Amino acid sequence: MRGGSVAPAPTLSPARGWRPHVTPRGRRYLPEIVVAALVGAAGSISLPLFFRYGNVTWAFAVVWGLATLGSVLIVPAVRRAGVAWPNELRTLFVASAIVGVVSVLTGIGNNATDEPYTMGPYLSELLHGRDPYTSIVLVSYSVHTLNLWSNHVSAPYHYVYLPLLLFFQVPGTGATGYKFLGLACWAGIVYLVRKDEVGALCLVSPVVALLAANGFTDLPVLLLLTLSLRGGLGPNAWPVEVVTYGMKQFANAFWLVYHLVRRELLRAALVLVGTLAIALPFLLWHPDGIWCEALTFSAAPGCSSAPSAARSWSDLYAHWNYYLWPLWIYALFSAAIHRGWRRLKSRVRPAAPATADG
C-alpha cells in the first residue's frame, strides 16, 4: 500500500472441474418420486392380482407389506435430494394425511382388515356382561379394491387380543370412527418422533398412513409404545408401558426382548407378571377363553375349539399390519441397529495378516 491506495484483492479462479453445489431439479423431487413409486408399484401389482385371482388376502398383504418396509427408502431419498428434512417431513405429512382421509371417506385402498368392524361389538359384549373371549361376534362387511371390485366378508369371530385394547376406542363411532382413530394415532406417532430424522421420515410414509386409515389395531399400541419411549415422560413412562402389556401381544414380545437386550432382567420378569395380572380377571371368569384365544393362540392342550386364535407360520407374511412392526423398530432404533451391525461385522471380519517392517 502506497500513498493511501489499496491494492485490489486477488480473485480466485475455480479449479478445473469444480462446479458450484446446485441440486439438480430432478433430484430435488426424489422423495416424492420414491413415495409415488412405492404406492404406484403396490397398486399396479394389486390390481392384476385381484383381476386374476379375486381377493387374495395374503398376496395383497405381501405386496403392501413390502411397500411398507420400502418406506425406509424415503430417508436416503431426502438426503440425496439435498433438501432440509424438516421441511420435507411437513410436506410428506400433509400428503400422507390427505391419502389417509380420502381412503377412509371413499373406501379407496381401505377395508383390508375386519378389526374396525369388530372392536365396537367386542366392547359391547363386555359392557353387557359377556366375555368377548367366549362370545361369538358375526362380522359382515365388504372389501373394496379401488372401488372397482368388492368381496363380501361374513364370518364369526372371538376376541383374540388382550383386554385393555378394547377400551382404546370412541364408543358409538363405528368402523369409520375407528379408522380415523388409527389415522390420529399415526399422526401422534410421527409427532413424537418429529425430531428424529430417520424415525420421522420412515413413519411419515403415505403407505403407513394408508395402513393406519384401514383401522388396524396396531396403531393405538404403537402410539403408546412410542409415547413411553420418546414422549419425554421420565419416570411416568413406566405406567404407559404397563398399559401396553394389556393391549396387543406384539407389545409384550417387544418389551420382553427390549429389557433382555438391556440386561434388565427384573423389568423383563415384570412384563410377564404384568401381562398375567391384567389377564387374571378373565382367567378367573372363563379360564379357557383368554387362555386359548389371547395367551396361547390355541396351541395349549384343550384349545382346539378356539379356531379364531389359531396361528401358523404363514401369518408372518400374510398380514399387512405385521410389516409395520419391523419398520417401527427400525425407525426408533436405527442408530443402535447400525452400531450393532458394525460391531458384528468387526467381530466376524478376519484380521489382516501382519507384515514385517522393511
Written in H, E and C, the secondary structure of 9-46 is CCCCCCCCCCCCCCCCHHHHCHHHHHHHHHHHHHHHHH
Of 48-52, 184-188, 254-258, where does mean pLDDT reach its minimum? 48-52
Residue ranges in the chain assigned as alpha helix (H):
25-28, 30-53, 57-69, 74-81, 85-106, 115-127, 174-192, 197-203, 206-213, 218-230, 237-244, 249-261, 265-285, 287-290, 324-348
**pLDDT number for residue 7:** 47
Residues 63-87 have a mean pLDDT of 95
**pLDDT number for residue 43:** 86
Can you tell me the distance from the alpha carbon of 154 to that of 149, in angstroms, rounded to the nearest whole number?
17
**pLDDT number for residue 358:** 44
**pLDDT number for residue 128:** 94
**Residue with the larger pLDDT of the pair 310 and 116:** 116
List Cβ neighbours of 238 (8 Å cut-off, separation of 6 or more): 228
Q: End-to-end alpha-carbon separation of the chain, Å?
A: 55
Residue 268 amino acid letter: A
Can you tell me the distance from the alpha carbon of 25 to that of 22, in angstroms, rounded to the nearest whole number?
9
**pLDDT number for residue 3:** 44
Of 146-150, 188-192, 278-282, where does mean pLDDT reach its minimum? 146-150
> Phi and psi of 153, rounded to 5°?
-120, 130
**pLDDT number for residue 279:** 97
94 pLDDT above the threshold of 60: yes
Percent of the chain with pLDDT over 90: 62
DSSP string, 278-337: HHHHHHHH-HHHHIIIIISTT-STT-TT-GGG---GGGGTS-GGGGHHHHHHHHHHHHHH
Place of cell 389359531: 310
**pLDDT number for residue 60:** 83
Can you tell me the distance from the alpha carbon of 287 to that of 296, in angstroms, rounded to the nearest whole number?
12
* pTM of the model as a whole: 0.87
Beta-carbon count within 10 A of 216 CB: 25
Can you tell me the distance from the alpha carbon of 151 to that of 112, in angstroms, rounded to the nearest whole number?
11
Residues 122-149 have a mean pLDDT of 82
**pLDDT number for residue 51:** 73
Highest mean pLDDT pick, 42-56, 153-167, 176-190: 176-190
Average pLDDT, the chain: 86
**pLDDT number for residue 150:** 65
CB 145 within 8 A of CB 57: no
CB 169 within 8 A of CB 177: yes
DSSP summary character for residue 108? T
Q: Which three cell numbers stand for residue 243?
A: 398399559
**Residue with the larger pLDDT of the pair 55 and 107:** 107
Domain ranges (residues) in the chain: 26-332
Q: Which three cell numbers stand for residue 134?
A: 367366549
List Cβ neighbours of 212 (8 Å cut-off, separation of 6 or more): 100, 182, 183, 185, 186, 219
**pLDDT number for residue 261:** 95
Residues 71-90 have a mean pLDDT of 95
13 confidence band (pLDDT: 50, 70, 90): very low
197 pLDDT above the threshold of 80: yes
Residue-wise pLDDT for 14-59, tens only, equals 434 334 344 566 688 899 999 999 999 998 888 787 777 766 678 8
Residues 172-177 have a mean pLDDT of 93
**pLDDT number for residue 344:** 85
355 pLDDT above the threshold of 90: no
Element (H, E) at 149: strand 149-157
351 pLDDT above the threshold of 70: no
